[in-house]
Amino acid sequence: MSTGYTVKTKEEIANLVNQLKKIRTDWVKDGCMPHNPVIKDGLGTILAEVSRWCGGFQDPHHPQVIGWKANNGTRSESGVILVKGAGMCSCCSKPTDVHVKEAIEEAKVLALAALKEL
């Protein structure tokens, strides 16, 4: 039974892998809940990530900090953004979703800038 694929030489495979590594997605959701935005290459490797967990162990639904990281091979850069708590949630005195979303957007800008510099 034929699969429709032809056997490639090592050089052809390496060339295809290199082409896939050059492809970059826009920000997409990862499989976590709540979702974290990530940028992947054509092989599915995460190149940049903004995470409610990168900042440390905390409630992911009401994080105090948002972490970000960008990596390109062996080089990486990372940081955290403090979630501004000007308007606190009435039920638990933690930052509201609006403040979390603002921090995530700020972290995405920093992670993308770092990825372009790497």
- pLDDT tens-digit map of 11-29: 988 899 999 999 999 999 9
Average pLDDT of span 26-38 = 91
CA atoms within 13 A on the CB side of 41: 16
Q: pTM (2 decimals)?
A: 0.79
Average pLDDT of span 59-75 = 86
88 within 8 A of 96, measured Cβ to Cβ: yes
- Write down the pLDDT at residue 36: 92
Give the residue among 96, 106, 93, 112 at the shortest CA–CA distance from 55.
Answer: 106
Better-scored residue on pLDDT, 117 or 60: 117
Averaged pLDDT score across all residues of the chain: 85
Query: How remote is the C-alpha of 98 from its chain's centroid?
Result: 20
C-alpha distances out from residue 113 to 42, 55, 99, 118, Å: 20, 19, 21, 9
- Write down the pLDDT at residue 53: 80
> What stretches of 1-118 show up as alpha helix (H) in DSSP?
10-22, 97-117
Q: How many CB atoms lie within 10 A of CB 66?
A: 28
At residue 91, does pLDDT exceed 90? Answer: no
Query: CA-CA distance, 99 to 95, in Å (whole number)?
Result: 6
